[in-house]
Chains A and B, each alone.
Chain A
Amino acid sequence: MDTIKNASKLLRVIWKDNWKNGLSKFFGKRKRQINIDKPIVDSKVKKLVGGFFGVIALLFLLAYISFYSIMLTEGSINSGVFEELIFMFMAMAQLIVIFFGSLIVINNFYFSKDNLLLATLPISSKSIFLAKFTTSYLSQLLIAGFIYLPFVIASGVYAKIIGYDIGAEFFIIGTINVFFIPIFPLLIITLLSFPIMYIVTLVKKRSLATFFGVFLLVAFSVGIYIGFISLMTQMGSTVDEQDNLFMPASMISVLMGLKKATIFNYLIINAMLGKHIVGFFFAHIVGLLGLLVVTMLISSVFYRKGMVLALESGQKLESKKTKISYKSNKFVASFVKKELKQILGVPSLLVSPLMSIVMLPVLGVIFGKSMEGTSMMNVGMILNIGFIFISSSNILSLIGVSLEGKNIYLLKTLPISAKDILLPKIIVANILNILVALSASITLGILVNENGILVGILCFIVLVIGGIGGSCYGLYNDIKNPNFNYKNINELTKNNRRAIKPALIGFMLGIIFIVLGVVVSSINFTNGLSYLIMFGGGGLVTSIFAIVSYRKLIKNANIYYDNLEV
């Protein structure tokens, strides 16, 4: 009882702190340091227009999900695999939780600065575990609900309309189920993280070991996610003579396999479908609670030891002397070195760019395979994904200014301008962008049928230019509303709405290449003209975006910088 009482006290504090430092910056009203863009009236109009388009986009997304869900529901009912379809909806939400939750779990448990304080308090490791686990759980609840509910509700409503035998319990338990969905995947990630992070604390080269530990866990999550996406590419439907939708055999076998892999959802799904409603429903809850207790017990062995070891020996294992040099450097070189050291010292910052490097070729192969025969359109598709990744995954540009934290105090006392600070950040962000662009370009070069090397080089150039624009835009976005008061880097990276605008811009840039790809694929241009239209036209727009973003950043940065209050 004390464990739960202490955990709830702790949770209240952690949640409040998270809300103040992270979530409120996502959902709440943002404190604008200074607005040099537009007068207040314009800014209100901008907000209204933004809100309007936001609602339209949300409705569009919900309509798309519902339509997709209805198609799948009809096909699954006609093929006799409706239950398996619900398994898929649940698995999809759980995989998204694994995908986003892995970093959150690791950050909350191991890289949170409150660990030092918590270690001194008379609170059991079980209470700390419960509080931190619940924090991770709450942060994933919304994502799980957003993915799962529209699919299930649309599916249920349509099933009911076409006369499939489901009762009110499908909707009631189905809705309550939102609260259960994140628990299992988060427990699995937590269980996996204990031994990995414990081993990390025993290794001498801790930074490197931490990086590999985190990478291993995230790679596990992403691996499952990519596996799921590749399975989904087999999704499709066939129509019989009476225009009834059916699922092809390959899809049915995918659904069957998915059901087997996620059999832990059996009780709750069957309760939804009216089988032993009360018994299965409570059995599912008991099962989850049991797993939670087991994880909590394991946590008392591994987590506390791992945390205490980390605090005890800290970085001292690594504090061996390095060679001292008195050599002076140009300020930019010195700053770039500082930036690189800073990101290498925080492994979680490197995870998302590295994932982009890994995921782009995988997604390229998946999409490339599914769209054979229209190679320039494929190029457009992969460039679209590349632009989204480059614009939204580069943490160094999205939170490059916020990342300074209280060190912004120091920078503001130095005889340097905002441009001096931002330029090295653009350079370092683009070192990572170049790696992502390289990975996408090599994939494209291999995938296209003709002139692979040329296409690869041209793609590389436009992605790099887009990356420069994206990083400038990201930094501009950040310097306008930075967050310097975070305690845990996780507060900056999770729920990061700074990623939304750059991702949308990346998406828009990518759309231009898709459209151009469609145009040159449908009209029989010569190769030379195709490339000129595709890369010349697209490259021009990308270059304009890069120049405008850079100029806007450099022109206005000093005003925002001078008015920053930490």
Chain B
Amino acid sequence: MEKKLTLIEIRNLTKSYSNSEIKAVDDLSFTVEKGEIFGFLGPNGAGKSTTIKCLTGILPYSDGSISICGNDLKREPIAAKMKIGYVADEHILYDTLTGMEYINFIADVFNVGDTDRKERIDNYATIFEMNDKLGQKISSYSHGMKQKISIIAALVHQPDVWILDEPMTGLDPKSSFALKQLMKEHAAQGKVVFFSSHVLEVVEKVCTKIGIINKGRLLAIGSIEDIKKQREDSSLEDLFLNLTQNEELS
């Protein structure tokens, strides 16, 4: 059997915030392989966002290691980050720029050439119906439009690892559908999509692999079918609720 290429590797990751004793992420280990769409699930405050922030280099971590496409995030941060495209859970954008200026700024950072840039921006702007909005200031954008600009900017350099934190928030149904399609296409190109979500239906439809986290610890990992079989849960919702509730009780 062909061995799958690991694009994300997290080993014994532990993260505590400087103002707290509690471990937001506790000895987390898992891998995400080429072509996978990984859904990261967990209740509020479970450690999903902290994990994603460590994974993208936003937060420093005390113990463990993170490797992106073979580049250790601590030792080779620039090389590792070159492979990542990130869509944050809150709109971290420069409001005073226009949408196009913002995408150009990100494209400049990733050294995207003029031709590729034009082709990709036009393509994604068409998918998300943003062509005539790119020249407007981000401050005038609605919540959903800001989300779309974040997505386009994250994809402009065609990252090997596309990380999204609650990406469906604020998107209209058409755009949500388009995003799901893009995720599938991205994975089909041999890349990785890693996203967190509370919308279990989306996770069920899109993901090839899921991880469920609570109180900073990984409770289950694998394909939805495999986990359901192991635990005899009838749906992803049951699986999620049972796992996280059992954790609460214990």
Residue numbers of A with Cβ under 8 A of B are: 31, 33, 314-316, 318-331, 333-335, 337-338, 341-342, 344-346, 406-407, 409-410, 412-417, 562-566
Contacts and interface: CB of A to CB of B under 8 A. Distances in A.
B78 interface: yes
A344 B118 CA distance: 28
Given A330-B108, A342-B94, A413-B57, A319 B137 contact: yes
Interface in B63-120: 77-82, 84, 86, 88, 90, 92-98, 100-101, 104-114, 117-118
B193 interface: no
A317 to B, nearest CB: 9
Given A318-B140, A329-B104, A331-B109, 17 more contacts: A314-B140, A319-B136, A324-B100, A324-B134, A324-B135, A326-B104, A326-B117, A327-B104, A334-B108, A341-B101, A342-B96, A410-B86, A412-B56, A412-B57, A414-B109, A415-B77, A565-B60
Interface of A is mostly: loop
Nearest to B154: A413
Contacts of A407: 92-94
A124 to B, nearest CB: 28
A412 B100 CA distance: 21
A345 B96 contact: yes
A322 B135 contact: yes
**Those 8 A-B pairs whose CB atoms lie nearest each other, nearest first:** A345-B96, A319-B140, A321-B135, A415-B81, A334-B108, A326-B118, A413-B56, A415-B82
B131 to A, nearest CB: 9
Interface of B: 17-19, 53, 56-60, 77-82, 84, 86, 88, 90, 92-98, 100-101, 104-114, 117-118, 121, 132, 134-137, 139-140
A10 B52 CA distance: 36
Nearest to A313: B140
Contacts of B53: 409
A416 B93 contact: no
A407 B94 CA distance: 7
A417 B57 CA distance: 12
Nearest to A330: B108
A333 to B, nearest CB: 8
A416 B77 CA distance: 8
B138 to A, nearest CB: 9
11 contacts: A319-B137, A322-B136, A328-B107, A331-B109, A341-B101, A342-B97, A413-B56, A415-B78, A415-B80, A416-B78, A562-B77
Contacts of B17: 565
Contacts of B139: 314-315, 319, 345
Contact of A337 (B101, B109, B112, B135): B101
Nearest to B74: A562
